[in-house]
Copies of this chain bind each other. A is one copy, B any other.
Amino acid sequence: MSGKKKCTRLSGALVKQLLDSVDSVLFDCDGVIWRGDQAVPGATQVINLLKEKGKKVFFVTNNSSKTRKMYAEKMSTLGFNVREDEVFGTAYCCAMYLKTVCKLEGKVYLIGSNAMRQELEAVGIQQTGVGPDHICGKQADWANVPLDPEVKAVVVGFDEYFSYMKMNRAFQYLTQQDCLFVGTNRDTKLPLEGGKAVPGTGCLLLAVETAAQRQAQTVGKPNDFMFDCVASKFNVDRDRCLMVGDRLDTDILLGSNCGLKTLLTLTGVSTLADAEAHQKSGCTERQGMVPDYYVESIADLLPALQG
């Protein structure tokens, strides 16, 4: 979009013009099509009408706590017409990354959820580590904790059972220099309804990285891999693709990184002021976080779809 005016309010005739220019639309989920367990008003109609009009629609989320199947079920319950293979969460993408990019031969030490375990097992990767791991013994015991010799990768996703012992176990594996180190994403917060939040995977990942003095490769947005996952499976033309999200540093940056058109929706984390601050900064790196367009809510797309 270089040379074009950015951060434009999307309304009127511009909506139809943009939708006509794309074949595929990628949506982030939380803060875009739903908030917590409630669909954003109008979101179901938008998604279902886009599909009826022949657009390919995909869902890309950094949240690693659900399998594709679990996402598809949640979406159906909320009234979205969605197939499991249209959903790309980091639990699934992380498994694909280990399988197709790393070509991992060995087990994973997993700091993560049961959903991550299921997606790993679905591509034939065994894991150890899911569930509580309480401390016992003394420091010398922690340093000499038994390690599974088949483990060849440490993977960090969201884990409500994250503990000192899990951090220590990951650290002991990562002292082996040939042990891979992969994280699902770096989001530091999980936003909830009413302006509340809880700590996100980024906090867990940084703790492990600091202990190990190594940096993990992350698969989630804004990393290209998330888009590559979709594009390689569904033959998406990036020149005719729109990324819709509520976060500038993940969704919009992913879109920019991959050469997609970008649309910020203001029903989630980032504000218009955030976007304008990036635009005015004059900093090249921050320009990637300026969306081409913004809407108050994706319901703003409805008139053009219904017309």
- Taking Cβ atoms with an 8 Å cutoff, the residues of A that contact B are 36, 132, 134-135, 139-140, 142-144, 159-165, 167-168, 171, 188-190, 192-193, 196-200, 202-204, 206-208, 210-211, 213
Q: Evaluate contact between B167 and A199: CB separation under 8 angstroms.
A: yes
A-B contact pairs, 21 of them (CB 8 A): A140-B192, A140-B196, A142-B198, A143-B192, A143-B196, A143-B198, A161-B163, A162-B164, A162-B167, A164-B199, A167-B199, A168-B198, A171-B198, A188-B210, A189-B211, A199-B207, A200-B211, A203-B208, A203-B210, A206-B206, A206-B207
Given known contacts A142-B198, A206-B207, what 9 new A-B pairs fall within 8 Å (CB)? A140-B196, A144-B196, A159-B164, A164-B199, A167-B203, A188-B210, A189-B211, A203-B207, A203-B208
User: Bound complex: CA of A142 vs CA of B162, how far in Å?
Assistant: 14
Determine how close the nearest CB of chain B comes to the CB of A205; give it in whole angstroms: 9
Determine how close the nearest CB of chain B comes to the CB of A200; give it in whole angstroms: 8
User: Bound complex: CA of A190 vs CA of B138, how far in Å?
Assistant: 13
User: Bound complex: CA of A164 vs CA of B167, how far in Å?
Assistant: 11
Residues of chain B with a CB closer than 8 A to A198's CB: 139, 142-143, 168, 171
User: Bound complex: CA of A132 vs CA of B165, how far in Å?
Assistant: 12
Q: Top 4 nearest A-B pairs by Cβ distance?
A: A199-B211, A143-B196, A207-B207, A162-B164
User: Bound complex: CA of A134 vs CA of B132, how far in Å?
Assistant: 9
Known contacts A135-B161, A162-B163, A164-B160; is-contact A143 B207 (Cβ 8 Å): no
Residues of chain B with a CB closer than 8 A to A140's CB: 36, 192-193, 196
Determine how close the nearest CB of chain B comes to the CB of A121; give it in whole angstroms: 23
Task: Out of B164, B203, B208, name the residue touching A211 (CB < 8 Å).
Answer: B203
Q: Evaluate contact between B132 and A197: CB separation under 8 angstroms.
A: no
Q: Which one of A200, A202, A211 has the highest number of Cβ atoms from chain B below 10 Å of its Cβ?
A: A211
User: Bound complex: CA of A198 vs CA of B163, how far in Å?
Assistant: 13
User: Bound complex: CA of A8 vs CA of B210, how far in Å?
Assistant: 32
